[in-house]
Amino acid sequence: MRVDILNGVNLDVVGRRDPELYGGQTIQALETRIYAWASELGLRVRCRQTNSEGEYVNWCHEAMDNVDALVVNPGAWSHYSYAIRDAIDLFSGPVVEVHLSNVDEREEWRRVSVIADLTALRVIGKGPDGYREALEFLARKST
């Protein structure tokens, strides 16, 4: 199974953001762990991160013809970007939404996800291990 991991806005600076919320790990360290987990599970993954909403939308469009599943963490865009929602809606494979922090226990505006109803699974508040849970879920679906 081919999986794109699409990380969005401000995830490039997670190593500098509040470690109690985001785990204190850099995006590079997180991606290294994701690639190792994927290898263990027999998945082929590609990790991508952008602070450009348009680029994120383009990656969702590219995924339609190139991968079997998506793991998405659009960051703050999860809470209001209908452009990203529409792009994810076009994807026909399983989509897993991941958030490092527990967005359901944070500010009111973070408790809304405009993509939640498009996902096969949401994993929130588990830090970097949320990505492993997402990959394990997708590996089970592929068998």
What amino acid positions are annotated as catalytic residues?
Answer: 22, 99
Torsion of CA 56, 136, 120, 19, to 10 degrees: -60
- Please provide the DSSP assignment of 25-48 as one string: --HHHHHHHHHHHHHHHT-EEEEE
Q: What's the CA gap between 40 and 82, in Å, rounded?
A: 35
A 10 A CB-CB count for 143 gives 6
Q: In sequence order, which residues have a C-beta less than 8 Å from that of residue 16 and are 6 or more positions away? A: none
Per the listing, tokens 């919320």 go with 21
A 10 A CB-CB count for 140 gives 9
